[in-house]
Amino acid sequence: MDVTKLFEQINFEGLLLENMGVRLIRIGIYLILGLVLLRLIQFLLNRTLKSSVSPQALMLIKKFLNYLGFFVILLLVLHELDVQLTAILGAAGVLGLALGVASRNSLGNIISGLFLIGERPFEIGNIIQIGDKTGVVDSIDLLSIKIITFSNHYIRIPNETIINSDVVNITRFRIRRMDITLTVERGTDLNKLEQVLRETAGEIDYCLTEPEPLFLLQEITETGTALLFGVWFQNPYFVTVKNELLKTLEARFAREALTLAVPKMIIRQSAP
């Protein structure tokens, strides 16, 4: 867009001749009132919609209204400066097309963002895993989402990346299962082992009685017997449950003389 053409549109002569002070005051009023009104709208939206829409939808509605509000204020100011709006809108249309072609990646992210809002695979506050990144969803915006990792890193992930990736929502439901894989020595009394594991899970406060812990024998190898023990727990207590469970298992194994298998390699040498 040609900026000089925009300047040509502004009727500076008119401004000088026609009570410039009054116009400037009017522009000032539009700006101040407009900004105050926008703030008020944001506040009212927060109060009325907070409980009925998701946080990300509310964020998008507020941003949309904000941009719309700024655009309306800009139009009022330009009108006050006697700028021909039809020409600007026409130029803006051409500009929009040019920008759209040039920023098709951003457009892709915006469209992906709209799909994400519709699908709602996660919400603000959920813990998600995308590839090798795990963190708490901080915001879901038009172009990207932002997550905060547990080491307090702030990561911006484009929406298109999310749409094209596997996303694991770890805290979608209020409970989940923690799986521990163990390999015990061949010859271990597996009934006793199961009893020990279940009793240990029962001693941990945040482990749930039901669903019952999973005890699954996976395979018998030369090294030992591999098994999976899974306990169900309340979502916020992952660290507590894991630490308590492993500490208690360690102590209990020692007490019951249960031994984990150590990888072995048997080398047989034949006589020359």
Residues that bind other proteins (CB under 8 A): 173-177, 202, 205-212, 214, 216, 230, 232, 234
Query: Using an 8 Å Cβ cutoff, are 159 and 229 in contact?
Result: no
Least separation in angstroms between residue 127's CB and other proteins is: 16
Cα separation, 193 vs 49, in Å, equals 54
Q: Which lies closer to other proteins via its Cβ, residue 216 or residue 251?
A: 216
Least separation in angstroms between residue 111's CB and other proteins is: 29
In the structure encoding, which two tokens stand for residue 40, read together?
Answer: 């008020």
Q: Which lies closer to other proteins via its Cβ, residue 233 or residue 253?
A: 233
Q: Which lies closer to other proteins via its Cβ, residue 133 or residue 177?
A: 177
Least separation in angstroms between residue 203's CB and other proteins is: 10
Least separation in angstroms between residue 232's CB and other proteins is: 7
Q: Which lies closer to other proteins via its Cβ, residue 73 or residue 127?
A: 127
Least separation in angstroms between residue 130's CB and other proteins is: 21
Q: Which lies closer to other proteins via its Cβ, residue 8 or residue 212?
A: 212
Q: Which lies closer to other proteins via its Cβ, residue 93 or residue 202?
A: 202
Least separation in angstroms between residue 248's CB and other proteins is: 15
